[in-house]
Amino acid sequence: MKALTKDIVVEDENSDIIHLWEPFKFEINETYKYVPNSILFSICSNLLYYIIAYPIIKIITKLVYDLKIEGKENIKHLEG
């Protein structure tokens, strides 16, 4: 039985490497504020949440979970 061998010639060992983009380098000092504390940011983020996000999430949870309380009429007679 003969052993079959192939001669593989590698011209450059880095020929299969794909160079993708790299993020740019920047430095952040210790006093950098990650979340803005301005009044305008607070107003805009609250409007975005309570006018757009909250109703959408409320509708989705109603459609997905659709929880129903059995015996609602018994709640009226409870004390406390």
Residue 50 placed within a domain: yes
The CA distances from residue 19 to 16, 22, 54, 64, in Å, are 10, 9, 43, 44
Domain assignment present for 14: no
| Residue 46 maps to a domain | yes
Q: To 5 degrees, how large is the angle CA 16–CA 17–CA 19?
A: 145
**Distance separating alpha carbons of residues 32 and 50, to the nearest angstrom:** 28
**pTM score over 0.85:** no
At 7 the pLDDT is 58
Q: What does residue 55 show for φ and ψ, rounded to 5 degrees?
A: -65, -35
- The total of structural domains in the chain comes to 1
* Token pair of 2 as six digits: 């003969």
Residue with tokens 């107003």: 43
- pLDDT single digits (tens) 25-42: 888 888 888 888 899 999
Q: Quote the CA–CA distance of 56 and 49 in Å, as a whole number.
A: 10
- Domain region containing 45: 39-75
| Residue carrying structure tokens 């996000």 | 53
Instruction: Tell whether 65 is covered by a domain.
Output: yes
In a domain, 8, yes or no: no
In a domain, 59, yes or no: yes
Q: Two tokens at 47?
A: 């409007």
**Residue-level pLDDT, tens digit, the chain, 80 residues:** 455 555 555 566 777 778 888 888 888 888 888 888 899 999 999 999 999 999 999 898 888 888 777 887 888 877 76
Quick check: is 22 in a domain?
no
In a domain, 70, yes or no: yes
